[in-house]
Structure 1
Amino acid sequence: MRSTEPTVLSHQKLLLIGGILLLAVLLLLYFIFFTNLFRGNDHLLALDITENTIVCTADASSIYYLEGSTLHRLNSAGNTIWTSKYSSGKMNLQVGRQIICLYNEDTATILDQEKTPLFNIPASDFKIEQVTCGKNTLAMLCGMQNSTSKFLRIFNSAGVEIDRIEISNTSFLDFGFFGESDNFWYMTLDTSGAEPISRITTTMPTQQKITGLYEIYGQLVSNVNFLNSNVYVSTTSSLIAYDTFGEIFYEKMIYGSKLADSLTVKDDLILAYVPQTEISNGSSTLRLLSANGLDTLVLLPSGVEHVALSEKYVYCFTKDVIYLYNYNGQYEKSIELDFSISSFSKLYNGLILLRSEGNTYLFSLS
């Protein structure tokens, strides 16, 4: 009678080899679908533009860039939607959700999202210094020769100048739009008294009406944020929140810190503060504060130079590595880059512009 032992052993060996192969296939599938080991960084989108090209977005669904005298509009995947060529000469670019503004010191051209011209602002005694866009309204900071004043000129999408605000040249600090109705704010500094007074004025341009006045005594203001009708002011020593009536209802000491990024999520405002000194010099601590009571410290690794907030993570950028933390301050993961960041700018919530040795990338936060 022939022994069956070798056959049994051979069958067991085949089962073992099959099990090992199956495990290897499962591991390979895991790495392919659940890690970035065999694929490029899907957060990054390379843009084929020159290093000094102006890039703007208002809501991250469309990317605009001005290259020479040609304006380009891309979708979020980087595909061209349209291009349009304008008169020669150096122009600047600002965009809102429904309007685009091309401007220089003397004139401005305003378009809609489909590149249809809406109106022009011709040359005049006003010299355009800065432009910001709301949803469908734009504000221009202008100066005039031999004038000691600055002028904030606000236009609607029909080209009507709906408001003009004159401010002392020496006291003007900042301005912008907030809210869904293109409400407006501007900030001045009064140094005529014994202590400096930072004043934040909110207005409704369509009615040429002041809706709020907030005065901060003895402190310099670095940043202004809005959440619904409340104003959050970052000063040299405190984060102060004011309600609609100008009353303080929240205050936190932030002495020695500066605002690195902010994010509005539903009915919450999250603010990230880093030390005033260069955070890249060594390990440092990031502080997260929010309108809903968050107060978390994150110990940053050495080399972190920039911080950006998303709904899920706190992104901390070194030259070539991005560290992700949750809002409890716990480390989650890191993303290694195959280039060194030379320039960092936030285009919009969730979208960062990175530059490196002549190359430009869009980095999407998750």
Structure 2
Amino acid sequence: MRKIPTSRKVVIVPGYQCNNSCVFCINSDKRALPARGTAEVRREMSLAARRGCDYLEFAGGENAIRPDFPELVASARRLGFKQVAAATNGRMFAYPEFARRVFDSGLTSLIFSVHSHKAQLHDALTRVEGSFEQLLRGIENAKKYFRGTVATNTAVTRLNYRSLPEIGRFIAGFAFYNSEFIYADPNYGSVKKDFKRLMPRLRDFAPYMRKCLDIAKEWKGGPPGLGYNWSARYVPLCYFAEYYPRQVSEAREARLFSNVQHVAPDYTSLDAIKGRRELGREKPAKCLGCALYAGCEGIWKEYLRVYGDGELKPVRAPRPS
């Protein structure tokens, strides 16, 4: 019998400001929104703790450019959060003194965004020359000084999906086994504005994603339980049936957390998973009867509007012998 998760996660976005300008940024229209001050962020953390959240992730924007970031992490630990994670483009962590301040503040997980295995493409995607080199120095400092979990994420667009197997091997070369490969969200931001240039079709990108996910097979299943995560996020299950549930992020999320909340300067969602299912994604009528229907969130609504549902292929349950 599967254990019912009891951990509650909150993702807090203190602000959308960033020192990169990624071509695929979902928050490209929000950069000018005022960031929350230190006291406001502390208040939101305190409220989340009172709601029973014990896992906090700082998202953005790039939180490492905030002077108060180490203190926010320390405040989160004082409030009782057992796990405090942060997503980062890695550039500020290239500076050892800053990196050690953050590491010593109580951070438990650091998630580096790695969008290519080559400097030229990574820098083209971030639109900052030298960002890849700074990212690598940040990773080096984390490997030297950080005692927590180091993870990565990769935004998958038309500009880099063919490199997914190489990106995966590049990441595995650092002995990082907690990596998430995120199919672009075209409902908002830059991908919606430049859909045809940035949004890959399912049929095109899925084979490359599967080759990337197959890298985990070399670990013979990895550590027991949920000790590692090498997974795809935001993908319809009909293209990844053989990787479900172990290597599909939403399934892992459901096994780890009883609730996920999002708190940002412009919105609050106390059930982010439900909101994503109901507002962001859709399962068209042809999906009815699919063997994986219950566990699947479908595909982005904007994807269906532009490309239609012709690529979706319901999975049929095996006939009883």
| Structure with larger Rg | 1
TM-score, structure 2 normalization? 0.30
Question: Which structure features the higher share of helix residues?
Answer: 2
TM-score, structure 1 normalization? 0.27
Q: Which has the higher contact order (CA 8 A, sep 6+)?
A: 2
